[in-house]
Chains A and B, each alone.
Chain A
């Protein structure tokens, strides 16, 4: 009896899976276009990525889900490139997402990724598929778009077709790391210890920081990678507390994202070396999220600094202000810095599709959309008026520093 029941249940499950698969397959009819995003939505980054997805959704809704005078409908799907097994972005899932996007001909733009390491995997796959244009709201590793003087030719190998197909709306870490080093010096620090999470993004920005710090006369006492899953970092922090010939350094710079145990690292730093006014604690945009403060506790995080490309929300141009207003009305208070970049990526994707139509082209032609994205100049968007260069990098290079005050990040100034 129960065996028969099991068989019936199993058949039902199989049937529903098959039906679901059929439902997804018939979307490429007539004038239907699809835009997808690939962002980590399992893990601490969700705090940020959810606001990015909301913002993308909002922009598409404002366009009414239609482009080219209503001839084409556009749908948007937020894809997750993280897995519960890793608790952060997963190379296998990102590769799968890229292959899935390459195979679905109705997809004309791939908004992502969040992590530079993930972008490195999907750029070559999508470049060979059309190319299908990528617009990232958050990748900051310089090597994705610019040739590295130490590793010539690596960047070109990401683009097997020879045509560039990857763009981003944030300034890269060759700017972020440099500005951060200058910022640490401006805080009055002369000695600094550098830590990173051993990922492409975290180590990349920490390396730029180290090079600049040495150039401008800061003493770098050490640069180490941390185990991002360790239970605690008390031994490491004990070592750092005497690294400045018996004393603690003036500042610690951490190149990492919040998923990689960033809150625990700060907790142990404060336990061993005291609050963040004596030994300054500075990080990149990867820790500029409320999740970082919540994880460490407001009193522990008090005084820590983090930088983000662009200007604070309150200094955005009129269209950016309108976005913040619309976002707040729909989803509640906006504290995360990357939502506006997510909004801008959708902005760019829709603009490129419109441009293709205006020129009499076919917006379902991926190559045409890619070309239109790179052709965007002096775009009047939510971030201001800006252009893409030939590498796909933005012309905006402002960097804003935030400090934790009373459990929230507050802007302390914009630097170049």
Chain B
């Protein structure tokens, strides 16, 4: 008893020492200058709110993608590395739909709203189908292979989809605004929400009339609403529907679920369909929010959302959401008050610290018990 306690306190001292080391030794190099930060906040307290808004909106997009990661991990305990790239395909699908329906150049509110709804439906459908196809081709044959095998095939699928994106972005006959500079360069995703609001005679910035020097745009509001409602919807679905229950049963014990007459293959396919659909929705949202379509955008988005999922507790739907918001906020405050050069270092240093204290993530891992 005595020794375990001693061991525990030693570990604690080590961790505290690490925190002190990071804050006081690396801190000053990486721009952690407390007096300057307090002075900046004092000089412009409203800006703190602005960074909060930016952080939450960015976090919301990360969170939607993280939901897909965490769903799949919860059921098959596989990190679907291609998930970020499915999201990238979602951006290109919605951009193509918007271009083919003539929505991109339209100023008419009705056309834009209809176009966006159509783009959402098609992007969700395409990404769901793509994700399920990936599962059939690359993961299902390896279901009983060692755990590392599907991981490698997931990385392989990720590269394949990235190259599809690279080719897609070169198809100017589909989307004329892709231009003639080939598939590799970043493409413009037009600011349709801005156009929509302007055509209705409203200001894009919802706080414009308040007289405060703050920007809270319709885009910020939409990503936050979409992320929250998807999370709540997903939770309800998993808890209360027949398929949701089958998913939880499969997650707990695949063989026992099979004996109870649950069609395991269908349940897993359904999981990938839902995960892909979420990526499609996130794709349209991110396109409208950041106004960029880029073949490479899935890589970083995937890495961040995977981290968010781990941070919140992999397999845990609410945790993925929380992790996404936390990463968005950390990055935003680091960009705002520290040196942007060190943003990634700060984000990951803090994540490592959190995981040191809570190795299963903020809300705990939920594989095997719940989705």
Contact = CB atoms under 8 A, between A and B. Distances in A.
A235 interface: yes
A261 B185 CA distance: 9
B296 A295 contact: no
Q: Which of B159, B180, B286, B299 has the most CB of A within 10 A?
A: B180
Contacts of B186: 44, 261, 263-264, 291, 294-296
Interface residues of A, number: 43
Nearest to B304: A231
Given A224-B341, A238-B336, A239-B336, A246 B43 contact: yes
Contacts of B299: 87, 229
A64 interface: no
B54 interface: yes
Interface string B139-176: 00000000000000000000100110010000000000
Nearest to B303: A229
A307 interface: no
A44 B291 CA distance: 17
A44 B293 CA distance: 13
Interface residues of B, number: 49
B320 to A, nearest CB: 17
Contact of A226 (B159, B190, B340): B340
Given A198-B341, A246-B44, A295 B185 contact: yes
Contacts of B163: 84
Contact of A236 (B185, B187, B215, B336): B336
Interface in B278-310: 286, 289-292, 294-297, 299-301, 304
Contact of B58 (A47, A198, A231, A261): A231
B179 interface: yes
B332 interface: yes
Given A238-B51, A238-B336, A46 B344 contact: no
Contact of B184 (A43, A227, A231): A43
A50 interface: yes
Given A44-B186, A50-B182, A235-B332, A224 B339 contact: yes
A26 B297 CA distance: 42
A381 interface: no
Given A224-B341, A235-B335, A42 B50 contact: no
A350 to B, nearest CB: 29
B331 interface: yes
A272 B332 CA distance: 15
Contacts of A267: 290-292
Contacts of B331: 230, 235
A87 B215 CA distance: 33
Contacts of B304: 231
A46 B182 contact: yes
Give the residue among B44, B51, B186, B190 with the most A Cβ atoms within 10 A.
Answer: B186
Residue of B190, B215, B340 contacting most chain A CB atoms (<10 Å): B340
A229 B331 CA distance: 13
A290 B179 contact: yes
B99 interface: no
A180 to B, nearest CB: 21
B188 interface: yes
B159 A232 contact: no
Contacts of A50: 182
Given A230-B300, A231-B58, A295-B292, A225 B340 contact: yes
A45 B181 CA distance: 10
B343 interface: yes
Interface in A194-210: 195, 198
Given A235-B55, A294-B185, A229 B50 contact: no
9 closest residue pairs by CB, A with B: A295-B186, A291-B185, A225-B341, A235-B335, A294-B179, A235-B332, A229-B300, A297-B188, A87-B296
